[in-house]
Structure formats: C-alpha cells, structure tokens
Amino acid sequence: MENGAAKPVIVAIDGPSGTGKSSTSKAVAAQLGLSYLDTGAQYRAITWWMVTSGIDIEDPSAIAAVAGKPEIVSGTDPSGPTITVDGVDVAAPIRTQEVTSQVSAVSAVPEVRARITELQRSIATSAERGIVVEGRDIGTTVLPDADLKIFLTASPEARAARRSGELKGADVHSTREALLKRDAADSSRKTSPLAKADDAVEVDTTELTLQQVIECVVTLVEEKRAAQ
C-alpha cells in the first residue's frame, strides 16, 4: 500500500523511566515517518511553570486552581521535538533536578492530568500520518483505542545504569533508589497510574541493545499497519 494511502497509525509506548522509552519512540517515529510526542515533557513543562510561578507544590488545590493557565505547545518532529510554555523554550530547564523531584506531585493532581490528557489526545488525533506517543498512561488512559500499545520494561539495575549514564556521574545505587521511589509514586497514584494495558505487547529491554528494541517495535508497527 502506498504511504499516502496508509491509515494514520497511533502507537502508545508506556513504561517506567530508564527503559529506553524516549530513545526508542523517537527512533521508531523517525524511521516510519510518524510524529512523536513525549508526554513526560508536558508534565515537566507544567511542573516547571508551577515552580517558576511560585505555586505551592505541596498544595494540590493550589496546583489545581492554576492548571489551565500555562499554554503548553509540543513540536512533534522526532528529529527535533520542541516544547514551549507561554512561548518560552523550556526543553533544557524541564530536565533539571528541581523539576524532576517535583513532577510526580504535580502529575498526581487530577486537574493537571485532565488538562494534559486533553492536550495529548488532540495532538494524537490530528497527526496526519500517525504518531508515536510515549508516557506512563497512554495505552490505559490517554489513548485506550491506540492501534498498537507497547509496554517497555527492564530490571531496576539496568534502568539505573542507563539513567546514571544519562545523568553524568550519578551514582547507580542512588539512581536505582530514586527510580524505584518514582515507580511507587507513579503506580500508586489514584489518577491514571502507571500500568500495563491488557492488550499491550510487553517488551523487556534488560538484555537488548537500543537498536534491537527499535527494530522490535518497528516490526510490531509494520505488522499492525499491514493488518489494517
């Protein structure tokens, strides 16, 4: 079938941090000519806005009251994804430790999730050729009707090693503790917890290279496209 005639395919990739989600999602989207959305960046962006606006992160009602204020815009080109808040490029500041340490608390507020989920759905449904959307609740909550759902996993040790490699010079043991703490927070929150959808394909990346994970996911997407 000609690409032009291909039905847009929506791919949901979920899983905890350190499983290779972002690298895999970007590469798969680029290889297949799809858009790409990093939903975690959107939660980081709204968290950055809350922190810089002086909102009390300990107070869910204060967060809820202003959840609709910031304008968050995500550029979905996998070779150069962008994110802005009220027109300001926040790609770098949202990766700071300050934002990382607060994002679970902000993300747990139902009004924040409702706002960001709506944003994510509108981006996904308007992607002309299709999109790879990565996060923690895409297959279960955001896009339950996605054409293909993938859940990436890896051992805590493998994830910590990858993460500390990303966070130059970080100590693997403390990184592992932080990841497990984050997992617990994300999996136990009442609104849209991190969970594997019943119809998701689980891919354990512990023993795989990034290239192998990418090839595996590309094959799954191509099979799904051929079957449409």
pLDDT digits (tens, 9 = 90+) for 68-107: 999 999 999 999 999 999 999 999 999 999 999 999 999 9
Which letter does DSSP use for residue 195 in this model? -
d(C-alpha 217, C-alpha 226), whole Å: 14
d(C-alpha 38, C-alpha 78), whole Å: 10
How confident is the model at residue 7, as a pLDDT?
80
How confident is the model at residue 133, as a pLDDT?
98
How confident is the model at residue 116, as a pLDDT?
97
From the number of C-beta atoms within 10 Å of its C-beta (0-12, 13-18, 19+), residue 211 rates as exposed
Sign for the CA dihedral angle at 198, 130, 95, 192 comes to negative
Q: Which residues contact 28 (CB under 8 A, 6 or more apart)?
A: 11, 13, 34, 132, 214, 217, 218, 221
- Backbone conformation region of residue 14, classed left if phi is above 0, alpha if psi is from -120 to 50, else beta: beta
How confident is the model at residue 152, as a pLDDT?
94
Show the tokens assigned to 190: 């009442």
Sign for the CA dihedral angle at 41, 45, 51, 52 comes to positive
Show the tokens assigned to 5: 């005639």
**Spans of the chain, pLDDT less than 70:** 1-6, 167-170
Alpha helices in the chain (DSSP H): 21-32, 39-52, 60-66, 97-107, 110-125, 156-166, 172-188, 210-227
How confident is the model at residue 193, as a pLDDT?
75
How confident is the model at residue 106, as a pLDDT?
97
How confident is the model at residue 168, as a pLDDT?
66
> What pTM did the predictor assign?
0.86
